[in-house]
Amino acid sequence: MTGEHTDATIARRVRRLETLLEDKGVLSGARLDEIIDASLSGASPASGARVVARAWTDPAFRSRLLADGTAAVRELGYLEGSYQRLRVVENTASVHNVIVCTLCSCYPVRLLGPSPSWYKSEAYRSRVVREPRAVLAEFGLELPADTEITVWDSSAESRYMVLPRRPRGTEGLAEDELAGLVTRNALIGTAAV
């Protein structure tokens, strides 16, 4: 099944669910749109980038972020009302982390924005687990042979975000300038900053 057929199948299922909710009187189409809009309000990789920039400039926040990502990002006003646990994993000189959801496409939308189509593809979901180094190379990320790659599998209960390594030569940059360096792919682990 190609990605287009999979997307079309999912779209038909979503539309069918929307129709059932409306037909059964559970939700009106307008109310469903309001819920979706509210859910995506403020959902942007810029949010995750601000979290990373704070961690790069505030060692105490960084410690809290790595110990309890959910609580730490709430300090900054993110994930309000969210029921998923957020775990933040840190890239180091010897370990590189990458995120996937092998069962579907679970993803911290409020921090990373809507997920890219490749993240939802069956090819990415299956291959990054089996051959992460090859998949990362396809994204243009060539890691040294001695770098350990850890693949984290999101679920309905737990979401992951990568804390990328801070680039050299950025010590004098302000937090907002640092946030401007962080991409969505770096937050997933398919790119470096």
Tell me what pLDDT residue 63 has.
Answer: 98
Angle at CA of residue 138, ends 123 and 90, nearest 5°: 90
| Distances in whole angstroms, Cα of residue 174 to Cα of each of 4, 62, 82, 88, 106 | 42, 16, 29, 22, 32
CA distance 51 to 90: 13
Tell me what pLDDT residue 80 has.
Answer: 56
Q: Is 106 a catalytic residue?
A: yes
Residue 164's nearest CA partner among 142, 151, 181, 144 is: 181
Tell me what pLDDT residue 25 has.
Answer: 87
Supply 45's token pair.
Answer: 């990789």
Strand partners, 85: 158
Q: Which of 28, 39, 104, 117 is flagged as catalytic?
A: 104
Tell me what pLDDT residue 39 has.
Answer: 63
Tell me what pLDDT residue 56 has.
Answer: 98
Q: Is 105 a catalytic residue?
A: yes
Could you tell me the pTM of the whole model? 0.81
Amino acid of residue 119: Y
Domains of the chain (ranges; CATH) run 3-39 (no CATH), 43-188 (3.90.330.10)
What stretches of 60-169 adopt beta strand conformation (E)?
A: 85-90, 95-100, 148-153, 158-163
Q: Is 155 a catalytic residue?
A: no
CA distance 4 to 87: 32
Q: Which of 106, 115, 126, 155 is flagged as catalytic?
A: 106
Tell me what pLDDT residue 111 has.
Answer: 92
Supply 48's token pair.
Answer: 């995750």
pLDDT tens for each residue of the chain, 193 residues long: 344 445 566 667 777 887 888 888 888 877 777 776 666 667 889 999 999 999 999 999 999 999 999 999 999 988 755 667 999 999 999 999 999 999 877 888 889 988 898 998 999 999 999 999 999 999 999 999 999 999 999 988 899 999 999 999 999 999 999 999 999 999 999 999 9
